Amino acid sequence: MTDQIADLLSRIRNALKVHKAFVTLPYSRVKRDILVVLKQEGYILESETGEEAGLSHLKVSLRYMGGKTPAIRTLKRISKPGSRVYAKSKELPIVLNDLGIAVVSTSCGIMTNREARKRGLGGEILCEIS
């Protein structure tokens, strides 16, 4: 697997389409940090780390509004392995008039575009979620 973030987004997107309660995926620090941001913003209920047969994995509990509508409408990968996208703090994208978020990898860790703008940090724009 070359693009772990795209794998994370695809697994969540596919699980939401078939109304799964949770999705399990291989562990990585980047995925864990992105899931922490998604939990803080209220897009997922919870993420847990577990181990099975000697391999670590993440179990993500998905959030649905009213039991039917997914809390996440769109997941879009912005920076790709072949085409990295960087932005300064004042050039960070505004997603859906700030109703959505962009996940940004900065020198201080992975955070939302709003938090990075507030701290005056730029970085790599990983994905947009609304």
E strand residue ranges, the chain: 22-26, 44-52, 55-62, 64-65, 69-70, 75-77, 86-87, 101-106, 109-112, 123-129
Average pLDDT over residues 64-84: 94
Encode pLDDT of 80-98 as tens digits: 999 999 999 999 999 999 9
Percentage, residues of the chain above pLDDT 90: 93
- Residue 62 has what DSSP assignment? E
Protein fold of 4-129: Dna Ligase; domain 1 (3.30.1490)
Please say if the pLDDT value at position 122 is more than 90: yes
Confidence tier at 9 by pLDDT (50, 70, 90): very high
Please say if the pLDDT value at position 78 is more than 90: yes
